[in-house]
Chain A
Amino acid sequence: MLAYIVRRLLIAVPTILLLIVASFFLMHFAPGGPFTSERPLPPAVLANIEARYGLDQPLWKQLWDYLYNIVVHFDFGPSFKFKDRDVNDIIAQGFPISLTYGSLSFLVATTVGVSLGIAAAIKHNSWIDYLAVGLGIAAQALPNFIMGPILILTFTLWLGWLPGGGWNGGQWPYLIMPVIALATSYMGSIARITRSSMLEVLNSNFIRTARAKGLPTRTVIWRHALKPTLLPVVSYLGPVFVYVLTGSVFVDIYFSTGGLGQAYVGSALSRDYAVLLGVTILYGVLTVLVNLLTDLAYAWFDPKIRY
C-alpha cells in the first residue's frame, strides 16, 4: 500500500508539470494580455509595465523563471491586477473561504443524499421512495446559479431572515445560503446514485444469503449492503469533492463570499496570468490528491480491490 502511494505521488509530479506547461502556453496564446484595456497604454508605459513583470522576456524564459520561483522560493508570482497582493496572498485569502463552505456543502450533500437514497431503496416503490426520488430530481434540476437568486429572494427579501451575502469570517448566517445553494444539485445526484446502487446490491446473492440466515434488516443494510452500495457513490464523490473545495464561481458571485472560484474566473477574464496559473496548480494538486484518496477508499469499501 505504501509503495503504491509513493508511486502515485511520483507520477503526480510530471502530471502537474505538464499541466503547468500546457496552461502556461494556452494562457499566453489567448488573445489580449493583462494590460490590454479600453484605453490602450502608450507604448512607453506598456514597456515599463512589461519589464517590471518580466513579460518582455521570451516565453521559455518566463516559464523557467516561474518554475524556478515556485520550486526554490515557493513564490507563485505577483498579481497583475491587484497591485498590493501576490498569488500566495490571493490563495491564502480565498481558499480557506472556499474550503469552509465547500466542505460543509460536501458534508450536507453526502449525508442527506446518501440517507435519501438508502431510504428510497429500502422502501422501494412506497411513498417514501417516490418522495425521495422526486426531491432528488428536483434538487438535481436546480443548479447553484438558479438556487442562488431563489434563496436570496426568499430568505433575504421576503422573509428577511438571512443576510443577502458577504462572508464576515464565516459566521453561520452567512454560511447557510451558500452551503444550500452549492449542496442541492449534488445532493440530488448522490441520492439517485445511492438509490439505484442500493437496489442492485439488495437484489444480489450475498444479501439474499444474509437475509436467509435470519439477520435483522438493520444488520443486513448496515453491515453488508452499505459498503458495496457506496462504491459507485465514492467514484462520483471524488471529483465533486475537488469541485466544491475549490469553490464555486456562482456561489462567489451570488453571495459575495470572496472565495477562490470568483478569483479564478476573474483572473482568466483579466488575463492575470500568475493568479490563473497559481489557482490552476492548486486545483491540479487537489485533483491528484483526491483521486488518490478515492482510490484508497475503494480498497476500504471493496476488499477485493488490493494495491
Chain B
Amino acid sequence: MNKYIRTSLAGLLTSTMITGAAFAAGTHPTTGEALADDQTFTYRILDEHSSVDPQVVEDVSGAEIVRDLFEGLMNQDEDGNLVPGVATGYTTNDTKDVYTFTLRDDAKWSNGDPVTAGDFVFAWKRAVDPALSSPYAWFMELMSIENASEIIAGDKSVDDLGVKAIDDHTLEVTLSAPLPYFPQMTTHSTTFPAPQKVVEEFGDAWTKPENIVSNGAYVLTEHLPQERSVRERNENYWDNDNTIIEKVVALVINDENVALTRYLAGELDRTEVPAGQFPRLQKENPEEAISFPRLCNYYYTFNLSDGGPEAFKDPNVRQALSLAVDRKIITENIMAGGQPQAYTFAPAATAGFDVPDVEMASMSQAERDELAKELLAAAGYGPDNPLSFEMVYNTSEAHKKVAVALSQMWKQKLGINAELANMEWKIFLEERGNQNFDMARGAWCGDYNEASTFLDLLQSDSGYNDGKYNNARVDELLSEAKTSDDAAPLYTEVERIIAQETPVIPIYHYAGVYMMDSDVGNWPVKNVEQNWYSKNLYKTAE
C-alpha cells in the first residue's frame, strides 16, 4: 500500500471548534448572514418512499431521507466532490483492488453507541444476503466487491464477502477487479452502516420512527405514510455543532401543480416546476425559480434486435432520424426549464467526461435537415417508399408533448409516418425489455458521477441495453475503461462511435428545475447527482 490518499480534514476540524457558539447569535458562521429563528426545511416529494432502510431503499426520495438519517464512509460536498463521512480517509494498494478506510473515533449512533467498522461489515453483508433479498443487491456487484455475485446467486456464504473489520476503526474491502472510482461509490445509500442490534431486534420494522437508530445528522421522528415524514437533529452526530437546519419535513404531494400552488402559498421551501412553466415562474419570481444541469439523459432507442424493423438496421436511416430532431424546439419550447440539448449519450455535466466534437452538434438545423434528407434517400426511403414505424413512451403529459413534436418533425421534414403509442409504466417496461417495439423512449440517471454509468447501457451484454445495440469495439473500450487510470479518452471514443452509428437518439439532458425559497442557503446546485445533505443547508432571516 504505497499510494496514500488522505482527505485533508484540518480546515473542517478548525471550523467545528469555533462555530458552536456562533449559532446562538443567529448568524451563519462562515457567510455571516442572519439566520432565521425557525430552521425547518419543508420540501415536496412526488410519492411515498419505499423504505428508509439503507440497504433496501430503491427510490430517489427514499435515498434523500436515508442520506440525512445515515452517514456512509464518504460524503459529497456542494460540488459533488468526495469529502470524509464516517471515514476520515482511505488508502489503496497498487492494483487498486484493496481499499482500507480509517473510521473516525467520535462517530456515534443516535443511541450513543460508537459507529464501528463492524457496523459496515454487517450492513454490506446484509445488502447481498439472499435472505434480505434487497433490490439494490446489484449495487454491491457493481462495486465489484469480492464474492458479491456468488453470494447473491446463493453459491457462497455471506461471510465470504470481501469486506472485513481489521479493528473497530479500520475497514478493509477487497475487490474482484480494480475499480478506480470505488470510493465515489461509498456515498451511495446501499453502503451506509446499519445498527445490527436494532435490525435483529425489530426485523423489518426496525425503520419505524419508534425503533430506528441511525448515525447521520438527523433522526426519524415521525412518519405518516402517504402524508409526510419528519426528521430532526441528531444530538449524537459527531458534527452536530455544525448542523444548522433543526428539522426537515418531506411532504408527499402527488400532483405537481398542487405542489406548486402550495409552494406559492408558502407551505413549502422547495418543489419541482412542471414542464413548460419555468419561463413564467422565472419572470414572476426571479430569485426562486432555479435551473441547473442534472446527471440524467432523455433519449429514444431503436430496436436493433433481430425482431426489430429492417429499416433501422441501416445506420443512415438512424442518423437521418436523429439529424431531423430539432432539439432547440424541444428544450426551449416544450420543456422550457433550461435543459441542455443532447448530442451525446452522457451529459456534459458528468465528471471527467470530455464531450467529443460530434459533427452534428456544430451544424445548423438547416444543414442537419438537408443531410437527413440525403441520408434517407440514399437508404431508399422517400415519397414513393415512405418509412413508417411505431414509437412508444410511458404515459405522461411531458413525454407525450415530446413524442408529438418528434413525429411532426419527422413527418414534415422527411415524410415519415411515426405512430405514437403510450403505455402504462409497468407494461412499457415489459414491452421495452422484451424488444416489442420499433422505437422507444428511454431515460437514465447516473448511479454515480462517471460516464460509464451511462455508456455501459450500450454494452452488448448490459441488462439495460433494451435496443440490443452490439458493437465489439464499444464493448472493448468500455471494459478497458473499467480499470483505466484515465478513462476519459476511451469514453470520448465510445461517444464518437455512437454518434456515427446512432443506436439511440439523445434528445436532451435533464435539468433540476425547482422553485426554491430564497431563504434556503447553500442548495448544492453544482452537485449534478443532487446528492444533498440537509446538514449543509440553512435558512436565512427574511
Contacts and interface: CB of A to CB of B under 8 A. Distances in A.
A82 B133 CA distance: 14
Contact of A48 (B137, B252, B262, B427): B137
B53 interface: yes
Contacts of A81: 50
A166 B227 contact: yes
Interface in A252-305: 252-254, 256-259, 262-263, 266, 269-271
Interface in A113-158: 148-149, 152-153, 156-157
A7 to B, nearest CB: 39
Contacts of A258: 224-227, 252
A75 to B, nearest CB: 14
Given A31-B426, A256-B251, A258-B225, A51 B53 contact: no
A256 B252 contact: yes
A254 B255 contact: yes
B258 A165 contact: yes
Given A164-B258, A253-B255, A82 B50 contact: yes
B257 interface: yes
Interface in B146-173: 149, 152-154
A171 interface: no
Given A83-B50, A167-B227, A148 B152 contact: no
User: Taking each of B48, B133, B152, B262, which has the highest tally of chain A beta carbons within 10 Å of its own beta carbon?
Assistant: B133
Interface in B28-81: 47-48, 50-53, 56, 58
B265 A256 contact: no
A167 B134 CA distance: 32
Nearest to B428: A32
A157 B261 contact: yes
B378 interface: no
B208 A152 contact: no
A219 interface: no
Interface string A22-48: 000000001111011111111011001
Contacts of A67: none
Interface string B114-134: 000000000000000011011
A35 B135 contact: yes
A292 B134 CA distance: 45
- The prevalent SS among residues of A at the interface is loop
Given A37-B135, A38-B429, A156-B265, A84 B205 contact: yes
B493 interface: no
A90 interface: yes
Contacts of B153: 44
Interface residues of A, number: 51
Contact of B427 (A32, A167, A254, A259): A32
A52 interface: yes
Interface string A66-97: 00000000000000011111000010011000
A279 B394 CA distance: 26
B130 A164 contact: no
B207 interface: yes
B262 A152 contact: yes
Interface residues of B, number: 52
A269 B424 contact: yes
A160 interface: yes
B138 interface: yes
A245 B42 CA distance: 31
A225 B184 CA distance: 78
Contacts of B50: 81-83
A33 B430 CA distance: 9
A94 B226 contact: yes
Interface in B243-270: 251-255, 257-258, 261-262, 264-265, 267
B204 interface: yes
A49 interface: yes
B411 interface: no
A83 B204 contact: yes
B430 A166 contact: no
Contact of B254 (A36, A82, A164, A253): A253
B198 to A, nearest CB: 13
Nearest to A152: B261
A48 B429 contact: no
A163 interface: yes
B52 to A, nearest CB: 8
A164 B261 contact: yes
A36 B258 contact: no
Interface string A50-66: 01100000000000000
Contacts of B149: 44
A164 B207 CA distance: 29
Nearest to A153: B261
B338 interface: no
A164 B225 contact: no
Contacts of B427: 30-32
Contacts of B56: 83
A41 B135 contact: yes
A148 B424 contact: no
A44 B154 contact: yes
B482 interface: no
B426 A48 contact: no
Of the listed residues A38, A152, A271, the one surrounded by the most CB atoms of chain B closer than 10 A to its CB is A38
A45 B255 CA distance: 33
B51 A252 contact: no
B433 interface: yes
Contacts of B251: 165-166, 256
Interface string B203-221: 0111110000000000000
A48 B226 contact: no
B225 A90 contact: yes
B532 to A, nearest CB: 22
A266 B59 CA distance: 15
Instruction: Specify which of B52, B226, B433, B464 lies most central, judged by the most chain A CB atoms within 10 Å of its CB.
Output: B226
A41 B138 contact: yes
B57 to A, nearest CB: 8
Given A40-B463, A44-B149, A165 B257 contact: no
Contact of A254 (B224, B252, B258): B258
Contacts of A149: 257-258, 261
A152 B425 CA distance: 29
Given A44-B149, A84-B53, A256 B135 contact: no
A39 B464 contact: yes
A178 to B, nearest CB: 12
Most buried by A among B130, B257, B464: B130
B130 A83 contact: no
Q: Chain A CB within 10 Å — which of B134, B252, B253, B265 has the most?
A: B265
Contacts of B137: 42, 45, 48
Given A40-B433, A45-B137, A90-B225, A163 B267 contact: yes
Contacts of A41: 135, 138
Contacts of A262: 226, 254
B228 interface: yes
23 contacts: A31-B430, A36-B429, A38-B429, A40-B433, A45-B133, A48-B152, A49-B133, A51-B133, A52-B131, A82-B225, A83-B50, A83-B53, A83-B204, A84-B53, A94-B225, A157-B265, A160-B265, A165-B251, A165-B258, A254-B255, A256-B253, A257-B227, A269-B424
Given A37-B429, A90-B225, A254-B258, 12 more contacts: A31-B431, A42-B137, A45-B134, A48-B137, A51-B133, A52-B131, A83-B56, A93-B226, A157-B265, A164-B261, A165-B251, A258-B224
Interface of A: 30-33, 35-42, 44-45, 48-49, 51-52, 81-85, 90, 93-94, 148-149, 152-153, 156-157, 160, 163-167, 252-254, 256-259, 262-263, 266, 269-271
